[in-house]
Amino acid sequence: MSDDTERHNQKMAKKKAARDKIMATKTGEKGLIIVHTGKGKGKSSAGFGMIFRAIAHGMQCAVVQFIKGGMKTGERDLIESRFSDICQFHTMGEGFTWETQDKSRDIEMAQAAWEKSKELIRNPANRMVLLDEINIALRYDYIDVADVVAFLKDQKPEMTHVILTGRNAKDELIEIADLVTEMELVKHPFRAGIKAQMGVEF
């Protein structure tokens, strides 16, 4: 074995020992409050990726879409056609707010979505619930962040994971979350005149 290879292997062995030691201290298990926020891409995609992962493990789960922009219908079709036995899918909004110009209807929709979310989360059979784009509804105060925070703290079953996505997550939500990822935009093809494309944006 060359000196270089040996040095590498020793370094990696050390890394492994350090990692194993750290991981051994992580023994807790609980349902997490997970937030995907930021201006970058991937907030919803990562949420859906986790839902498909849960489905793969046979975990019952549910999705509530707070905002429907005519896009992202792909995941819905796939879940409804192939996995409706294990994953409920509810689309409650009817378009981005700037598409509708009807504030009172938007508020009604957001509140109906939140009622459905609570029902799904309260049922402990649902091991993971994705509240897609709920942060948009919270940002416009269509639903009250204090209500959402109180519900998640007091009524979420111990082992249920809840994922909340959308930019501009409120501080109160980040405060109670266990896992928060900020998707930061580094580069976006819209800037180069590329339109929204199937498989990427919807």
Residues 110-139 binding a second copy (CB under 8 A) are 127-128
Q: Using the rule CB under 8 A, is 86 a contact of a second copy?
A: no
Pick the binder of a second copy from 3, 21, 85, 101 (CB under 8 A).
101
Q: Three-state SS string across 35-75, please?
A: EEECCCCCHHHHHHHHHHHHHHCCCCEEEEECCCCCCCHHH
Name every residue whose Cβ is closer than 8 Å to that of residue 8 and which is 6 or more positions away in sequence.
Answer: none
Residues 8-37 that bind a second copy (CB under 8 A): 8-9, 12-13, 15-16, 19, 22-23, 25-30, 32, 34-36
Question: Shortest distance, CB of residue 182 to a second copy, whole angstroms?
Answer: 4
Q: Using the rule CB under 8 A, is 195 a contact of a second copy?
A: yes
Pick the binder of a second copy from 125, 146, 150, 179 (CB under 8 A).
179
Q: Using the rule CB under 8 A, is 153 a contact of a second copy?
A: no
Question: Shortest distance, CB of residue 4 to a second copy, whole angstroms?
Answer: 8
Distance separating alpha carbons of residues 67 and 132, to the nearest angstrom? 8
- CA contacts within 13 A on the Cβ side of 76: 15
Question: Shortest distance, CB of residue 25 to a second copy, whole angstroms?
Answer: 6
Are the C-beta atoms of 35 and 177 separated by less than 8 Å? yes
Question: Shortest distance, CB of residue 115 to a second copy, whole angstroms?
Answer: 22
Question: Which of 130, 35, 116 lies closest to 79 in space, CA to CA?
Answer: 130
> Which single residue is written with the structure tokens 């180069």?
192
Distance separating alpha carbons of residues 71 and 114, to the nearest angstrom? 21
Residues 51-70 that bind a second copy (CB under 8 A): 52-57, 59
Question: Shortest distance, CB of residue 160 to a second copy, whole angstroms?
Answer: 10
